[in-house]
Structure 1
């Protein structure tokens, strides 16, 4: 896998990856109908397209030349000191092979002024929590609205301090 910047031509493949990953991860937590509702909204082509041009952000893909194995999207605060990792997803069949680490490293390298990386993670997503803990993140709180204001989805907040 190599990491590269996402482009317009990747959006269908990224959406497919997100839908597959969300069903594999969250069907047992939220139910199939809720996962479809979320992916149709949060991972629509229009929503993904908007990320391509968002100021102070990075949208990267792990690609092996034949398929997109993972994606990550993050944005920096106005002072560039805090990065919010909005998304980091690895195709279920690619998990445990270093793809997530490649994406995380690229996101961090993309924001050289950052001192903190933050993210929100579903408390029942044990695999993601183990990944983030193994990569230096610590549980610092909770939110009642993961992903966006008024989502109604509770999540843990994790942070990693950067040197």
Structure 2
């Protein structure tokens, strides 16, 4: 796998990757119908396309030349001190191969002036929580609205100081 910047031609494959990963991860937590609703809104090609033009952001994929194994998206705040990791998802068949670490490292390197990186993660997503703890993140609090205003999806907030 190699990590590269996302292009428009990747968006359909990213949308499919996110739907597959979300169903595998969250169907037991939220139910298949709710996951389909979320992925339809948050991970549609149109929603992903809007990210390509966002300022102070990085949108990456892990690619083996045939299949996208993972995706990451992050955006810095106004002064660039805090980076919000908004997505880091690895296709289920590719998990445990170091792809998440590769994507996270590249995100961090893309924001060389940042002082910290922050993320929100569903508390019941034990694999993700364990991954972020192994990457040096610490719990900072909670939010009642993960991913979008008024989502009603509670999550833990994690942060890692960057040097």
TM-score (normalised: structure 1): 0.99
Is 1:5 the counterpart of 2:1 in the alignment? no
- Which position in structure 1 is the counterpart of 2:14? 14
1:130 lines up with 2:123 in the alignment: no
Question: How far is 1:148 from its partner?
Answer: 1.0
Which stretches in structure 1 are left out of the alignment for 5+ residues? Answer: none
Shift of 1:33: 0.3
Q: Map of 1:15-94 to 2, 5 A cutoff? A: 15-94=15-94
Partner SS for 1:74: strand
Q: Which residue of 2 aligns with 1:117?
A: 117
TM normalised by structure 2 equals: 0.99
User: What RMSD in Å do the two structures reach over aligned CA positions?
Assistant: 0.3
SS at match of 2:9: helix
Q: Which residue of 2 aligns with 1:152?
A: 152
Task: Measure, in 1, the Cα distance between the counterparts of 2:86 and 2:21.
Answer: 15
Runs (4+) of structure 1 exceeding 2 A deviation are none
Structure 1 residue 99, shift from structure 2 partner:
0.2
Structure 2: give runs of 5+ residues left out of the alignment.
Answer: none
- Count residues in correspondence: 163
Secondary structure at the aligned position of 1:150 is classed as: coil
Cα distance in 1 between the residues matched to 2:105 and 2:53: 21
Q: 1:145 and 1:103 mapped to 2: Cα distance?
A: 25
